[in-house]
Amino acid sequence: MNIVVLIKQVPAVSDIQIDSQNHNLVRVGAPTMLNPVDKNAIEAAIAIKEAQGGTVTLVSMGTAMASEALREGVSMGADGGVLLSDERMAGSDTLATGKILALAIKKLAPVDLVLTGKQSADGDTGQIPPAIAEHLGFSLITYAESLTAEDGVIRASRKNHGGMETVETKLPAVCSVMETMNVPRSPSIRNKMKAKKAVFDVWRLEDIGLDPSESGSAGSATDVTEVFAPEKHAVGIMIDGNTTEEAVQKLMADMAAKKLI
């Protein structure tokens, strides 16, 4: 089975900076890491490969720094990776990004299964898996908490409105996974050495056959006009008491002191 895992390098800090001109994240110079839930997708892919055979290929879109995320995936057991890196891809929204990634997957054909994390820690949209499934004409399963593949069919369990449901679909398919699906393995010494020596293909727009007008800001259907931090709210207080009556009296006294009653 040929499996592609989409991974992303994201900022490793909570206090990220925003470019005042284009309202995009400032990534240059910021510490980065492999998107955490992508590790669960890699682990799921390797587990299927170990059971069914095949290959696991990582695909990441970003700057040259994203090769470090690919190396981390290879150190876990992936076979190799491809980096989509072109300055004309910068500023792509989920529409343009979905096209770019889908064309890269087509170039890697035949592909039986595409795995992703549920969403990235920076964009937090969860829109890429369905976008890719639509472009490729693949079946789609989202937010999987367990996953098995056998005889050309994948089966997954997922939460739905407070319950659990089991779904299945024929391959080829796209599946996004939850961080609760598994525990990503620690890299072995052998795979660490393999990752250190790994050489990744770098594809530009011409390599995947996409016109520049369909990439970056030019190919994006959305435009970020303003970015702001959410309003901070006052921290609540805890009222303690040996009895309910005592706690109520303390609460009433506190509210009276603040002239709320």
Report yes or no on 37 lying in a domain. yes
Amino acid (1-letter code) at residue 219? G
Tens of pLDDT along 177-217?
999 999 999 999 999 999 999 999 999 999 999 999 999 98
Does the structure show a pLDDT above 60 at 15?
Answer: no
Name the 3-class secondary structure at 145.
strand
CB atoms within 10 A of CB 70: 24
Structural domains in the chain (count): 1
User: What CA–CA distance (Å, rounded) separates 12 from 108?
Assistant: 30
Phi-psi region of 17 (alpha: psi -120 to 50; beta: other; left: phi over 0): beta
Residue 42 domain-assigned (yes or no): yes
Q: Which domain holds residue 186?
A: 2-214
CATH of the domain at 177: 3.40.50.620
pTM summary value: 0.80
SS3 at position 236 = coil
Residue 235 resides in a domain:
no
Lookup: tokens for 126: 């969860």
Whether the per-residue pLDDT at 245 is higher than 80: the answer is: yes
Is the pLDDT at 221 greater than 60, yes or no?
yes
- The answer to whether residue 75 sits within a structural domain is yes
Residue 201 domain flag: yes
3 state SS of 67:
helix
> Does residue 243 lie in a domain region?
no
DSSP 61: E
Q: What is the pLDDT of residue 231?
A: 77
On whether residue 244 sits in a domain, the answer given is: no
148 bridge partner residues: 155
